[in-house]
Structure 1
Amino acid sequence: MSGKLFVIEGLDGSGKGTQTELLTRRLQGEGRAVRKLSFPRYGDPAAGALTEYLHGSYGQKPEDVNAYAASTFFAVDRYASFRQDWRAAYLAGSLILCDRYTTSNAVHQTAKLPRGEWDGFLDWLYDFEFGKLGIPRPAAVFYLDMPPEASQKLMDKRYAASGEKDIHEQDLAYLNHCRQAALYCCQKLGWTVIDCARGGVPRPVEEIGEELRGAVEAAL
Structure 2
Amino acid sequence: MMSFLLAIEGADGAGKATASALVVEQLRATGRTAEVVSFPRYTETVGGWALGAMLAGTLPRGTSPRAAAVLYALDRMESRDHLLATMAANDVVVFDRYIASNMAYQAAQVAADEADAMMAWIADLETGSFALPRPDLSVYLDTPAAIARGLILKKRKRSYTDDAFDAYEADTGLQDRVRTNYAAMAKAGLLGQWATVSTVSDGASRLPAEIAAEIVALLD
The interval holding the TM-score normalised by the smaller chain is 0.7 to 0.9
Letter in 2 for 1:14: A
Matches within 5 A, 1:56-205: 56-58=57-59, 65-83=63-81, 85-91=82-88, 94-158=91-155, 163-164=162-163, 165-188=165-188, 189=190, 190-205=193-208
> RMSD of aligned C-alpha atoms?
2.4
Distance 1:59 1:203, change over 3 A: farther
* d(CA) in 1 for partners of 2:134, 2:142: 22
SS in 2 for 1:105: helix
Letter in 2 for 1:13: G
SS in 2 for 1:7: strand
Percent of pairs with identical residues:
30
- Maintained 8 Å contact 1:52/1:58: yes
The unaligned stretches of length 5 or more in structure 2 are none
SS in 1 for 2:154: helix
1:213 aligned to 204, 213, 216, which one? Answer: 216
The Cα offsets for residues 97-132 of structure 1, whole Å up to 9 and x where unpaired, read as: 110011110111111122222221121111100110
- How far did 1:35 drift? 2.3
The Cα offsets for residues 41-64 of structure 1, whole Å up to 9 and x where unpaired, read as: 12123212111111113489xxx6
TM-score normalised to the size of structure 1? 0.87
The Cα offsets for residues 124-158 of structure 1, whole Å up to 9 and x where unpaired, read as: 11110011001111111001010122110122233
Matches within 5 A, 1:10-29: 10-29=10-29
* d(CA) in 1 for partners of 2:2, 2:155: 37
Distance 1:55 1:34, change over 3 A: same
The unaligned stretches of length 5 or more in structure 1 are none
SS in 1 for 2:87: helix
TM-score normalised to the size of structure 2? 0.87
SS in 1 for 2:71: helix
SS in 1 for 2:125: helix
